[in-house]
Amino acid sequence: MAFTPSSGPCFPTTRLRRPRAHDWSRRLVGESRLSVDDLIWPIFVTDGPDAGAEVSSMPGVIRRDVAGAVEAAEEAASLGIPALALFPQTDPGLKDPQGSYALDPENLVCRAVRAIKDSGAKVGLVCDVALDPYTSHGHDGVLENGCILNDESVALLVSQALVLAEAGADVVAPSDMMDGRVGAIRHALDNAGRQDVMICAYAAKYASAFYGPFRDAVGSAANLGQGDKRTYQMNPGNRDEALREVALDLAEGADMVMVKPGLPYLDIIAAVKQEFGAPTFAYQVSGEYAMIRAAALNGWIDGDKAMVESLLAFKRAGADAVLTYFAPMVARLLGR
């Protein structure tokens, strides 16, 4: 006997499956969308013999020499990716306790920035302001008797930001989590006639277990050893503190704020966007990339679908842009 739906109240008048029935209707009612315009591509630059070599813990990610960085910028421009973020693998012989090489106008990142600008590639350049790729101890600041000195570190970070701005960086991105560094950098940039250089503050950067592959890529893992960064990076259990950090950085002149890592902190991204309405970026960090990529390479998940779904989650949470190592892959996928 055929089943005939009753006209009684047990059958819904509102059926949310109706708009899901067709591709065209799903697109019409879609709430969050991922675009190439949302992507920032982090790349690793090197001067050493590792140029062109894959980062072992990040399948598909390579270190690039200056010429390779230019090629990446041209590739990004051709794909419509708005910006690159540059991170150096520093020669161990150039590291010291103060991270002095970070202040050298001829350092690796400065040379890569100038080369990309000279190439005419139409991409923005975001440059990290932090000392950990340059210090012999692997910390983001000046280390004395086991303590990271805040104000002494800020003075060095200001000098680093000025060097990067002079080289042609469009955005300087202090990722160190020292107190007061955003205001000090903004003041110094303005006094140097660099009012147009933007600051993307890593405002809520957590002391996370997801950074391991990045530290391998830039060569700071061995320097840091068994040390940790919990005295300056945030406690993963704290939410209210993140909002206080963001408020301070915006008050000090940040143009954009960053939450890092990404997927484990979607609630923080959402809270920051809702509370402040400021440009809010997220960093899909190396550990997040490595997990998705490794699972895909092992055939455990559909890599393309997982990649896009993970990035769409950032948009749903309220992120305006995402730093992701997947950027060229997803740009090609979205361009099909």
**Catalytic residue numbers, as ranges:** 205, 260
Q: Residue 157: what are its φ and ψ, rounded to 5°?
A: -65, -35
Residue 150 and residue 141 in contact, taking contact as beta carbons nearer than 8 Å: yes
Q: Residue 131: what are its φ and ψ, rounded to 5°?
A: -100, -10
Beta strands of 219-305 (E only): which ranges?
256-260, 280-284
CA distance 99 to 281: 27
Strands 83-89 and 147-149: unpaired
Closest CA to 178 of 250, 127, 236, 229: 229
Closest CA to 284 of 28, 32, 10, 39: 39
Q: Residue 83: what are its φ and ψ, rounded to 5°?
A: -150, 155
Preceding amide of 261 cis, omega within 30: yes
- The reply, when asked if residue 245 is annotated as ligand binding, is yes
CA–CA distances in Å: residue 41 to residues 25, 52, 160, 191, 329: 32, 17, 22, 30, 10
Q: Show binding-site residues for Mg(2+).
A: 245
